[in-house]
Amino acid sequence: MIQNYMQMVDMIFDTDSGKTSVWLFDLEKFIYIRMGSVINLPLKIDQPLPTTTTSYECLQTGQKVIRTVGAEVLGIAYTGVAYPIKENGVIIGGIATTGSTERERALAILPSLSKNLSESLQQVSAAVENIASSAQVLSDAEIALSVQSEEVNDKAQQMEEVVEYINSVASDTKVLGLNASIEAARAGEVGRGFAVVASEIRAMAISSATSAKDIRKIIVGIQGLVSKMTVELEKSGGHTQEVSAAIEEIGVTIESLTGAAVELAALSAKI
């Protein structure tokens, strides 16, 4: 009696925590089904065995049938196994299971996955190292810029001294021009020509003084810009340090991730 094997169906079903579907059939139809949680085939009790099933095939061949079905059919890969049941050498039916092969597949790809993970982490680690060295270069450049802006400031200071000198020459020239004019006036009519020269000298002195004043304004502008630049540099220096600190943290995290990947690889080898 094929019904005597129903208990076995339950046992197999429970062994796999109800994931695998277990089928009991006689020569024509399914007589007992425990539908697993993973594979859900549209087959019912008392339904004649479809010719495509492993069940049907094993009845035909009298041999066990193992067939693997890819994920393209049900969205999940599974393996169907069907055994004929014989009493006194006569086939009276059979028992079949359809179980997910996901775990096997997962186990098969786990080593390569963990290897990939390790490699990726190595790449990330290398990239982080690159960023760290870039941050160092950036920081060095900032320091160099800082020094250079200091130099620009010094140059501006020197320029100011030169302008100061030009200014004092202009001021002396103005006095000279004024005195020349006074002298020319004293000479009366004879001094007319000289008076023109004197007034030209004064005009020149005034325009030199004006130019010197303009240059000084420009220098003050330059100094203002340089001091702004210094402030910005200090700010960006702070950011660079933050970046460096963050990179260091990331480095530590990656190290622990790499450790985890190694453990994972070892674990997957044991399963």
Partner 1 sequence: MDEMRQFIQFKLGPEDYAMEMSCIREIIKPMNVIQLLGAPKFVQGIAKVRDGMVTIIDLRKKFVITPASEGEPRIMIFESTNETERIGMWVDDVVEILESNSIQPIPTIIHHGIIKEVIRTKDHIIPILDIKQLFTNEVMTWLGSGDTEITDELTAVQDEKNVRRN
List interacting residues with partner 1 (CB under 8 A).
171-172, 174-175, 178-179, 181-182, 185-186, 199, 202
Q: CB-wise, 121 or 209, nearer to partner 1?
A: 209
Alpha carbon separation from 96 to 3, 51, 92, 105 (Å, rounded) = 14, 14, 14, 21
Quote the least distance from Cβ 204 to partner 1, whole Å: 14
* Token pair listed for 150: 């200091």
Q: Which residue has the tokens 């046992």?
A: 11
Q: CB-wise, 152 or 176, nearer to partner 1?
A: 176
CA 52 – CA 98 distance, rounded (Å) = 14
Quote the least distance from Cβ 233 to partner 1, whole Å: 36
Quote the least distance from Cβ 179 to partner 1, whole Å: 6
Q: CB-wise, 180 or 261, nearer to partner 1?
A: 180
Quote the least distance from Cβ 167 to partner 1, whole Å: 10
Alpha carbon separation from 6 to 31, 86, 87, 169, 234 (Å, rounded) = 9, 15, 15, 120, 81
Q: CB-wise, 162 or 182, nearer to partner 1?
A: 182
Residue type, 33: I
Nearest to 83 by CA among 59, 67, 99: 59
Q: At what angle do helices 192-270 and 102-187 cross, to 10 degrees?
A: 170
Quote the least distance from Cβ 174 to partner 1, whole Å: 8
Q: CB-wise, 140 or 172, nearer to partner 1?
A: 172
Residue type, 121: L
Nearest to 150 by CA among 161, 142, 140: 142
CA 195 – CA 125 distance, rounded (Å) = 84
Q: CB-wise, 137 or 185, nearer to partner 1?
A: 185
CA 97 – CA 11 distance, rounded (Å) = 12
Quote the least distance from Cβ 240 to partner 1, whole Å: 45
